[in-house]
Amino acid sequence: MGRWEPNARGRLAEAALKLYAEQGFERTTVTEIAEAAGLTERTFFRHFADKREVLFYGTEMTLDLLTRTIAEAPASASPMDAVGAALESFGAFFQEDPERVRRRDAVVSASTELRERELVKLDAFTSAMAGALRERGTPEPAAGLAAEAGMAAFKVAYAHWVAAEPGTAGRAGEQELPRLVRKALTELQELLADRASV
Amino acid sequence: MGRWEPNARGRLAEAALKLYAEQGFERTTVTEIAEAAGLTERTFFRHFADKREVLFYGTEMTLDLLTRTIAEAPASASPMDAVGAALESFGAFFQEDPERVRRRDAVVSASTELRERELVKLDAFTSAMAGALRERGTPEPAAGLAAEAGMAAFKVAYAHWVAAEPGTAGRAGEQELPRLVRKALTELQELLADRASV
DNA sequence: CCGATGATGACAGCCACTGACATCACATGT
DNA sequence: ACATGTGATGTCAGTGGCTGTCATCATCGG
């Protein structure tokens, strides 16, 4: 297949993450990344749509995970339950390699441009979840609301997890992301229950 | 002050919106916008940080509105009530000129790059609301959750409003955005109450 | 051993964006 | 009226992201 070493895409992604972490996203040129991977700038753009996308490699898989989890939820599950299950799976996926997730998060958080891209990805996930809910019969205002609110809870849980994880990395029973997601949803439920205006 | 006609910034923003609407964001060059406003490309970049920012002129005012509304909410109001009040004000702001909002929304929705920027702005609003809640004593998981969930409801209400507004534009008692925001929050409350998993 | 296929390299070019410097309109003080 | 300062604008050169085009090379099937 390839010309030289295999897995050009992976090498590019690896080199990009490393360089972005070392010297920042803006101060890194695509040419640098390509050379670090033993390739040329042109080849970089054949594998990734732009300079940011290289950090969002494998997004489609995640999107599949979310929609499948919702589709496979028991018919008795409420919309929020289905969304909750999907987002807990999402959290478990992150939990698999906390080290890398945190490295990547530091890079993304440091750059406005990268945060933009991340938000668009999360928005795509939200839309996909809403679509999956509609397919199992949830009517329209509810589907969108459940997906958006679920993602809102996930964002809070994720932020907490990323900020607190450093020392207590990995051991069970402590503060795994799926558990935090579930907790966030419950707290959100209570917050809304305390709402006075009807 | 200025050299020629006054309000260079406003002219640039107007020309940009028009050109983006007519021929699309990507097929419009900054030089075109500047010439349409009787200025040069360099001057455009003195007024706006980049090609997208020209559509997000006046964002700081909105941010102020949100934080002030939360700060001025009665001490008895729950976090979700304060957020709800802020987002209803936000909706009322949009309602002032529905025509322009819809024009702008069509342009933004048509471009991924512009949607990216919009999501970042909304995220900044969310963070600001969370900060305002913290300042009035709401502890941390709750502040972030209330802000994120409120914005989630707003997004759904806004999407509905933008999609449905065309015919029934402007008359009272029909489907104003603030009312839709309140409705969305109530529906979200019910959705979460239906959650089975505790 | 050869031709097809797909990935890569090599150029040329557009456009977003920036730094540096010159220039012009306007306000102010004398 | 005139000089002068201030801020906005114009001009120019340059970097870097990104794309189209074509040549080239590695590998696979025959």
pLDDT tens-digit profile of A47-75? 999 999 999 988 989 999 999 999 999 99
Closest CB to A80: pick one of B84, B182, B195.
B195
Å separating the CA of residue B148 from the C1' of nucleotide C23: 50
**What is the rounded average pLDDT for all residues in chain B?**
93
Please state which of the ranges A105-109, A168-172, B76-80 shows the lowest mean pLDDT. A168-172
User: Which one, of A89, A101, A109, A93, lies nearest residue A24 by Cα?
Assistant: A109
The answer to whether B195 contacts A144, with C-beta atoms less than 8 Å apart, is: no
Indicate if the pLDDT at residue A162 is higher than 60: yes
Chain A closest-CA separation from residue B33 CA (Å): 23
Q: Does B151 contact A at CB distance below 8 Å?
A: yes
Q: What is the pLDDT of residue A6?
A: 83
The answer to whether B191 contacts A79, with C-beta atoms less than 8 Å apart, is: yes
User: Which one, of B3, B47, B27, lies nearest residue B107 by Cα?
Assistant: B27
Q: Does A193 contact B at CB distance below 8 Å?
A: yes
Measured from the CB, is A78 under 7 Å from any atom of strand D? no
CA distance B123 to A159: 13
For residues A63-89, average pLDDT: 97
Phi-psi group of A181: left, alpha or beta (phi > 0 → left; psi -120 to 50 → alpha; rest → beta): alpha
Q: Does A191 contact B at CB distance below 8 Å?
A: yes
Cite the DSSP H helix spans in B96-198.
98-109, 112-135, 140-164, 177-193
pLDDT tens-digit profile of B15-70? 999 999 999 999 999 999 999 999 999 999 999 999 999 999 889 999 999 999 99
Contacts of residue A120 in chain B, CB cutoff 8 Å?
Answer: 112, 115-116, 119
CA distance A69 to A83: 8
What sign results for the dihedral spanned by CA atoms A74, A75, A79, A80?
Answer: negative
Q: What domains sit in chain B, N to C, each tagged with a CATH number?
A: 8-54 (1.10.10.60), 58-193 (1.10.357.10)
pLDDT tens-digit profile of B128-177? 999 999 999 999 999 999 999 999 999 999 999 999 867 655 554 457 99
Å separating the CA of residue A21 from the C1' of nucleotide D22: 36
Work out the angle between the directed axes of helices A59-71 and A112-135 (0-180°, nearest 10).
Answer: 30
Place of tokens 């390839």: A2
Q: What is the pLDDT of residue B173?
A: 47
Please state which of the ranges A139-153, B113-127, B155-169 shows the lowest mean pLDDT. B155-169
Indicate if the pLDDT at residue A120 is higher than 70: yes
Q: What is the pLDDT of residue A102?
A: 95
Nearest nt by C1' to A1 Cα? D27
CA distance A96 to B76: 43
Residue B64 neighbours by CB under 8 Å, 6+ apart: none
Chain A closest-CA separation from residue B184 CA (Å): 8
Residue A8 neighbours by CB under 8 Å, 6+ apart: A2, A37, A39, A43, A47
Cβ atoms B194, B131 nearer than 8 A: no
Cite the DSSP H helix spans in A110-139.
112-135
Indicate if the pLDDT at residue A88 is higher than 60: yes
For residues B93-107, average pLDDT: 96
CA distance A24 to A20: 5
User: Which one, of A90, A88, A86, lies nearest residue A130 by Cα?
Assistant: A86
Q: Does B187 contact A at CB distance below 8 Å?
A: yes
Write out the DSSP string of B9-52: HHHHHHHHHHHHHHH-STT--HHHHHHHTTS-HHHHHHH-SSTT
**What is the rounded average pLDDT for all residues in chain A?**
93
Q: What is the pLDDT of residue B197?
A: 72
Higher pLDDT, B173 or A5: A5
Å separating the CA of residue A31 from the C1' of nucleotide D27: 27
Q: Which of residues 135-154 of A touch strand D (CB under 7 A)?
A: none
Indicate if the pLDDT at residue A173 is higher than 60: no
CA distance B150 to B56: 21
